[in-house]
Amino acid sequence: MNAFAARNAEQVCDRVYSSAFDAAIGGIKADYPRGFDVISFADVLEHMYNPWEAMVLAKELLSERGKCVFQIPNMGHRSIIGGLLSNQSIMS
């Protein structure tokens, strides 16, 4: 969805899908018919329009014994709360 980032990723990745996850599913299934042993969602679900749908779609991409790994920020962590209270970005 970011053409500049996609071009950079193409330099180091086998395949790059530059669209929303739900729009890319068909291409991913076609390119990887045996599925994946692991799909990692590292700090990404909270940015998706419909994270529940993404998890259901990801399940369709797993191999028979595949697993999904999710990493979601702990919004209760003091560093995040402190940044929110002081109106500072947690990314800076």
DSSP string, the chain: --HHHHHHHHTT-S----S-HHHHHHHHHHH-TT-EEEEEEES-GGGSS-HHHHHHHHHHTEEEEEEEEEE---TTSHHHHHHHHTT--TT-
Mean pLDDT of 14-22: 91
Give the start-to-end residue ranges of the domains of the chain: 3-85
Q: What is the pLDDT of residue 63?
A: 96
Q: Which residue has the higher pLDDT, 62 or 43?
A: 62
Q: Is the pLDDT of residue 81 over 80?
A: no
Q: Is the pLDDT of residue 64 over 60?
A: yes
